[in-house]
Structure 1
Amino acid sequence: MAHIAVDIGASSGRLVVGEIKSGKLVIEEIHRFANGFVEKNGTCYWDINHLLHEIVKGLAEAKKQGYQSVTVGVDTWAVDYVLVDENGNRLQEVVAYRDSRTDGTIEKVSQHIDKKEIYQKTGVQFLSFNTLYQLYEEDKELLQKAKHILLVPDYLGYCLTGRAVTEVTNASTMQMLNVKTRDFDQDLLNLLSLKRSQFPPFAEPGEELGPLLAERFPDVDLPECRVMTVASHDTASAIAGTPGQGENWAYLSSGTWSLLGIESADPVVSELSLEDNYTNEWGVFGTYRFLKNIMGMWIMQEVRRHLPVDFTFAEFVDEARNVEHFRQFVDLNDDRFLNPSNMVKEIQAYCQETNQPVPETAGELAACVYDNLAIIYAMAIRGLETMTGQAIDRLHIVGGGANNALLNQLTADMSGKTVYAGPFEATAVGNIMMQMIASGDIGSLEEGRELIRHSFPLQSFVPKEQQAAKRIEQFDQHRKGEKV
C-alpha cells in the first residue's frame, strides 16, 4: 500500500507518497502549494480553508496518478489552534504564532503562576507564542463557546474524518501538559478558565484516526483513504525520520526553525535547563525530545525577501563562500529577529548598536547568518552535554537546511562534532514511517530507521576549524554586552 505524508510548514505544504520498493523506501512529491500568514486589521492569520483545499486537491492528484487506496498522515507546525463549536463550525480565523498579541504575555501569566513552577510542571521552554499565552490573550467569550480546541493538524484531521483528537507530540508544545501526570495541568487550565473536556482525548502517533469521509468533498474524485495519526508536530516527524543509531547522537531539524536536541527516555527538568530555556517535547513511543529551539532558515527567508535582487538559497551559499567570515557576532535568538518589519535592516541595526562591521552585500549577510547559527548550534550541543551528562559525538542534520553544505561544515567546525546531513525530506519520511508502522509494513522505530539509512544517502562533515573556542567566546561576550 502507498502512504501519503501531508507535510505543511510555515511557507509551503506538500503531499509526498512513499512506498517500499526493492527493499528501499522510495518517496515522490505529488503536490506542492504555498502557505503563509496574512495580516488583517493588525492581526496575522493562517488561511486554514486554503490548506484543507490543497490537501484534498493533492489527494485527487494521487488518484489521477493511479493510487486507488492509501493511508494519509498530516503534520504541521506547532502551537496554533482552532476553536470549534458544538456544531463542528470554526469560530474564528486561525491566528498565527508570529502575531504580536502575546508580546509581554509571559510576564502577565507569571504574575499568577511563577515561571519556575510552570517549567517544573511542563518542562517546556518559554516562548512568547506558546499556546498557553495565546489562549490567555484569546477572546474569553469565544473560548467558552468552543466545544473543541484543536491544534492545526488535529483540526485538519477532524475535517477529513469527523473525529477529534489531541495528538500528543504537538500538544506537548502548548506548555500546558504536565510531565508527571502526562495530562493537561489543572492549574494552567484554571488560569485560562478552560475545561479538560474542551481538549479531545489524546492520540498517540501510529493510531488510525479513521476513514476519509469522501461525502464531505462530493465534487472531488478521491482515493480510498485511511487517515492515520502520525507525529503531527513536524519536528517530531522529522526526528522519527532521523537515521540515528545507538547512543551519543544529537539531531538538528533544520527548516524555518532549527530544533537541536536528543531523544530521551525521560524529561530533563532542572534549574540549568530552565535558565538556558531548553524544552521537553513529547516524541514517538513515549520518548521526549529534549531540545533547544533556535531561529533557523526563517532568517534567510526574510533576508531574501527584503533584498532588491532575488537570490536563490544556493546562490546565498555561493556568495557567502567568497567573503570573510566571523566579522559579526549576532544573537539571532533575540526576540527582535522573531518577526521584524525588515530582517536586513534589523541585522544591520544590531551590528551598528554593538559597534561591529555592518554586513551590506548578499554574501556578507548570508555569512553573518550562517556563522552565528553555527555558533548557536555549538553552544546548544554543549548545553545538552552539560545538562544530560551525555557525551555527543555526532550530529544528524535533517530537513531542508541539511542541503546547506557551508552551514553544515561551519556547524561541524564550531561544535567539534562530525555532522551527517540527510535525509532532506526527514519530516515526510518520518510521517510515512509512522503510517507504515501503524499499517504493519514495518515493525518498529529501529527497523524504520534502518530502512531510512538503507534508502537515503548521508553526507559527512568533519571538524576543521582551529579557532572555534575563540569564536564562541567572542559571540558570548557580544551577547552579554561586554566589550570584545
Structure 2
Amino acid sequence: MNNHIAVDIGASSGRLVLGRLVDGSLKLEELHRFRNGFSEQGGSCYWDIDALLQEILTGLHQAKLAGIHECTLGIDTWAVDYVLLDSEGKRISEVYAYRDRRTDGVMEEVGRLLPPEKVYAKTGIQQLSFNTLYQLYVHDRKELEAADQILLVPDYLYYRLSGRKMNEVTNASTTQLLNLAARDFDAELLEFLGLRREKFAPLTEPGEELGFITQELRVKHDLPECRLICVATHDTASAVLGAPVPEGRSSAYISSGTWSLLGVELDQPINDCRAMAANYTNEWGAYGTYRFLKNIMGLWLIQEVRRLDGSRHSFAELAEQAGACEGFRSLIPCNHPRFLNPDDMIREIRQACLESGQPVPQTPGELARCIFDSLALSYHTYLAELEGLTGRSIDMLQIVGGGANNELLCQLTADVTRREVLAGPSESTALGNLAVQMIGTGGLTGIQEARRVIARSVPVKSYLPRAVPGLETLLARWEQLQTAGN
C-alpha cells in the first residue's frame, strides 16, 4: 500500500495530507484544510472536538472521491489537553483549552503541596501553568470521579475512529504524570490527584497498528478502508521526526508554529537541578528518544495581532511591513505569562513596551517587527542555555514548521545567534507523521532512512549570519529586559 494520510491538527488549523513514495522521494498532496481554535463559553475556553472529528471524516470522504480506496492514517495534534469518557465511552464534558485561565496560580498552589524538584526528578517535564497535572488538579471532582477513561485529544480522535482506547507516549509525557524510570504513569502523582491508573488507557508507542476505521463510519460517510497506525501524536514529536538534520553537523531544532520549541534530540533525559532551573523539558520521542527543549511563546503572538487587526494583512504582508521598520526598536520578553492569553495582545505588547521605557509600536508592521526581533533574541538566549545544559557546541539551527517560511525571522535568527539557519521543511509535522506510517508498514526501514528520504524530497533554505551593528550592546539590553520581565 502506498497511500498514507497524515491528520495534522494544530491550535489554529488542521489538514489531511496524502503522502506517497515515488522513485525514492516523498510526494505530498493536501487533501483537506480547515480552521481550528478555541472559543469562550461561560467564561471558559473550549475546543470543539466534535467539529475536529467531523473535519477528519470530511477529508477522508474527499480522499475516497479522489480515488483512494485503501490507505493508512495517523493523527497528531497539540499536547496536554484531554477528554473524559464515561463507562459507555461517551464524552462527559466539553474539552478545555490549555489557555483557559482556570489554572492561573495553580502551579504555585500545587508546588506548596508537592515539591517541584521531586516532580521534575520523576518526570523531567518543565513547569508550565497549563500542564495536564494542574488542569486535572482543578477539574471538577464529580466529573473526574465519573470518568472511566482519560484520553488526550489525539487518542480520543483515534478512539472515535477505531473504538480502541490508548495513551500514546509522546503526548502522554507532556501531562507531567509519566515516570521516566518506570516508563509509566507515576503512582504518587496519580494518588496526589486522587486518580487510579485504570483511568488511563495503556501506553502505546509510535508505529503500533490500531486496527481499521469502523465499518459503521466507513459506510455512513463513504470512507476509504483506513488502517490506523499510531504515530507520534504530539505534533512537536512528529515535527522533530520530519526534520532532516544534516549528518555530521552539531545542530538544534526550532519547531516554529503557534509555539516555538527549541531543543535537541537525546537518547537519555536530562532531569537534573540545572535543567529544572532553566525550565527545560524532557518530552518522550519516538523510537526511544527524548526531546530536550524549551517552550517559547512563538507565532501565537503575531497570530493574535493579526486577528485583532481584523486579518487585514496576510502573515507574509506583516513580515514584509516588519522588514521595512527599524530593527530592535521595541522588544518584549516573549515568555512572560502576560502573553499567554491576554484579553488584547496588541494592548498587552504596547503596555509592556511602555512600562519598560521603550518606543510603543503603533502600526501592524511595528508590532510584527517587535515580535520577530524579540523571538530571534529569545532563540539566542535559550540556545546558549541549551549548549550549557547539554555540553554541546551547536553550530547550526534548523527551523521547521510554518515559521520556516518567514524569511525575516529566519534571517534575524541567523544574525542574532551568529549561526547558520536551515529553514525547512515547513511540512515537517506531516512528514514525521507519514514517516512513522511508512516505517510501520515496511515502506521505510527506520527513521534514519526516513530522514534521508525527506532531505531529498523537500527544499531547505540556508541563512548565513550577517553583521548586526552594536550587537553586544543589544544583547546586554535584551538581558536586562528579560531580567526585569521575570
Give the TM-score category using the shorter length.
over 0.9
Q: Which residue number in structure 2 is paired with residue 33 of structure 1?
A: 34
Once residues 128 and 33 of structure 2 are traced to their aligned partners in structure 1, the CA distance between those partners, rounded to angstroms, is: 30
Query: Within 5 A, what are the aligned runs for 1:470-481?
Result: 470-481=473-484
1:80 corresponds to 2:112: no
Corresponding pairs, count: 482
Once residues 473 and 431 of structure 2 are traced to their aligned partners in structure 1, the CA distance between those partners, rounded to angstroms, is: 38
Once residues 57 and 310 of structure 2 are traced to their aligned partners in structure 1, the CA distance between those partners, rounded to angstroms, is: 36
Q: Give the conservation status (yes or no) of the 8 Å contact 1:375–1:471.
A: no
Once residues 482 and 354 of structure 2 are traced to their aligned partners in structure 1, the CA distance between those partners, rounded to angstroms, is: 14
Return the offset for 1:308: 5.4
Aligned counterpart in structure 1 of residue 294 of structure 2, from 288, 292, 308: 292
Once residues 309 and 234 of structure 1 are traced to their aligned partners in structure 2, the CA distance between those partners, rounded to angstroms, is: 26
Q: Give the conservation status (yes or no) of the 8 Å contact 1:415–1:468.
A: no
Q: Which residue number in structure 2 is paired with residue 130 of structure 1?
A: 131
Return the offset for 1:238: 0.3
TM-score (norm 1): 0.98
Once residues 281 and 311 of structure 2 are traced to their aligned partners in structure 1, the CA distance between those partners, rounded to angstroms, is: 38
Once residues 310 and 163 of structure 2 are traced to their aligned partners in structure 1, the CA distance between those partners, rounded to angstroms, is: 46
Letter aligned with residue 220 of structure 1: H
Query: Share of identical aligned residues, percent?
Result: 53
TM-score (norm 2): 0.98
Q: Calculate the aligned-residue CA RMSD, in Å.
A: 1.1
Once residues 387 and 477 of structure 1 are traced to their aligned partners in structure 2, the CA distance between those partners, rounded to angstroms, is: 22
For residues 309 and 91 of structure 1, do their structure 2 counterparts lie closer, same or farther at Cα, with a shift above 3 Å needed?
Answer: closer
Once residues 207 and 472 of structure 1 are traced to their aligned partners in structure 2, the CA distance between those partners, rounded to angstroms, is: 47
1:190-240 Cα distance to aligned partner (Å, 9 max, x none): 110001111111111111111110314542111010001000000000000
Return the offset for 1:328: 1.6
1:394 corresponds to 2:396: yes
Once residues 293 and 332 of structure 1 are traced to their aligned partners in structure 2, the CA distance between those partners, rounded to angstroms, is: 11
Q: Give the conservation status (yes or no) of the 8 Å contact 1:166–1:200.
A: yes
Q: Which residue number in structure 2 is paired with residue 443 of structure 1?
A: 445
Query: Within 5 A, what are the aligned runs for 1:175-194?
Result: 175-194=176-195
Q: Give the conservation status (yes or no) of the 8 Å contact 2:218–2:224.
A: no
Letter aligned with residue 139 of structure 2: E
Return the offset for 1:481: 2.5
Q: Which residue number in structure 1 is paired with residue 206 of structure 2?
A: 205
SS in 2 for 1:269: coil
1:415 corresponds to 2:398: no
Letter aligned with residue 29 of structure 1: E
SS in 2 for 1:460: strand
Higher mean alpha-carbon deviation, 229-238 vs 411-420, is at: 411-420
Q: Give the conservation status (yes or no) of the 8 Å contact 1:413–1:468.
A: no
* Regions of 4+ moved over 3 Å: 466-469
Return the offset for 1:34: 1.2
Return the offset for 1:329: 2.4
SS in 1 for 2:333: coil
Letter aligned with residue 263 of structure 2: G
Return the offset for 1:396: 0.8
Q: Which residue number in structure 1 is paired with residue 407 of structure 2?
A: 405
Q: Give the conservation status (yes or no) of the 8 Å contact 2:387–2:393.
A: yes
Once residues 471 and 195 of structure 1 are traced to their aligned partners in structure 2, the CA distance between those partners, rounded to angstroms, is: 52
SS in 1 for 2:445: coil
Q: Which residue number in structure 1 is paired with residue 315 of structure 2?
A: 313
Once residues 197 and 461 of structure 1 are traced to their aligned partners in structure 2, the CA distance between those partners, rounded to angstroms, is: 50
Query: Within 5 A, what are the aligned runs for 1:225-374?
Result: 225-246=226-247, 248-307=250-309, 310-374=312-376
1:306-355 Cα distance to aligned partner (Å, 9 max, x none): 12571110001110111111112210100000011111110000011111
SS in 1 for 2:165: coil
Unaligned runs of at least 5 residues, structure 2: none
For residues 308 and 6 of structure 1, do their structure 2 counterparts lie closer, same or farther at Cα, with a shift above 3 Å needed?
Answer: closer
Letter aligned with residue 78 of structure 1: A
